[in-house]
Structure 1
């Protein structure tokens, strides 16, 4: 899951201005409420990105649906990606090799 989050964040944070101009934006409270009511999704992870953006992953463990949002400092929250088959992972880091 960490790899998925990193890849998604890299792609999404490359164009935060474009995300704000999209029609899939609203106040954070409205977005969070809609994700909970309509899809049963709750926040699973978050991180800070470029220009003060907060990126959050919401998901429903019952249905497997997931949504990635980005909230800009001005308060606009935009849907960046959605999908199915959400899985919670807890992978260990690979062992570090000895470079000597």
Structure 2
């Protein structure tokens, strides 16, 4: 999973360019951000991932989950209204869970 996160960080750096890293304070980890359409295209081409779910964030952004058809890989993006996507997390073995209408059992 660490290798995948590093690859996605590298992907974000390749898309945004090295100048974007120079603007990030050294005390905070760099979150790879770039044009949403380009990130989505790269996730599809490199990892065969496509959008599987989304939700609205309180800041007006859309939180979107991408997963591969075989569910072996997934990526979570935060997408701004202006069309900038930021990779928040990525991993392996995505699993869909049913929505429990009455909440979890105690």
TM over 0.5: yes
Q: Report the equivalent of 1:31.
A: 39
Local SS of the residue matching 2:63: strand
Number of residue equivalences: 76
List runs of 5+ in structure 2 lacking aligned partners: 1-23, 25-29
Distance 1:90 1:31, change over 3 A: same
- C-alpha RMSD over aligned residues: 2.1
TM-score by length of 2: 0.63
For residues 26 and 91 of structure 1, do their structure 2 counterparts lie closer, same or farther at Cα, with a shift above 3 Å needed? Answer: same
- From 82, 87, 93, the equivalent of 2:95 is 87
Is the contact between residue 61 and residue 86 of structure 1 (CA under 8 Å) also seen in structure 2? no
Counterpart of 2:54 in structure 1 is 46
Q: Please state how far the C-alpha of 1:63 moved relative to its aligned partner.
A: 5.0
* Residue 73 (1) aligns with residue 73 (2): no
